[in-house]
Amino acid sequence: MKNLLSALVIGLAAAGGVQAQAWPAKTVNLVVPFPAGGSTDTVARPSPPGLPKNWVSLLS
């Protein structure tokens, strides 16, 4: 039990300096796995310009 507690304390101390990266750090590709011209494609094409605004509200 003492070894487990020691390992936990050391693990938490080592993870203290870790920070998350800004997300997304690079371009995100939206993949629509259906043929062009279908209803799914018609809905997916105008979506990307509004995604960053929506993602900020979802991730906050």
pTM value is 0.37
Q: Please give the mean pLDDT across all residues of the chain.
A: 75
DSSP per residue over 3-57, as a string? HHHHHHHHHHHHGGG--PPPS--S-------S-TTSHHHHHHTTSGGGHHHHHHH
Per residue in 33-53, pLDDT tens?
888 888 888 888 887 776 766
CA–CA dist 31, 17 (Å, integer): 35
* Burial class for 32, CB neighbours closer than 10 Å (0-12, 13-18, 19+): middle
**Whether pLDDT at 4 is above 80:** yes
Between 57 and 31, whose confidence is greater?
31
Eight-state DSSP code of residue 58: H
Helix (H) or strand (E) segment spanning residue 59: helix 51-59
In this predicted structure, what is the pLDDT of residue 9? 83
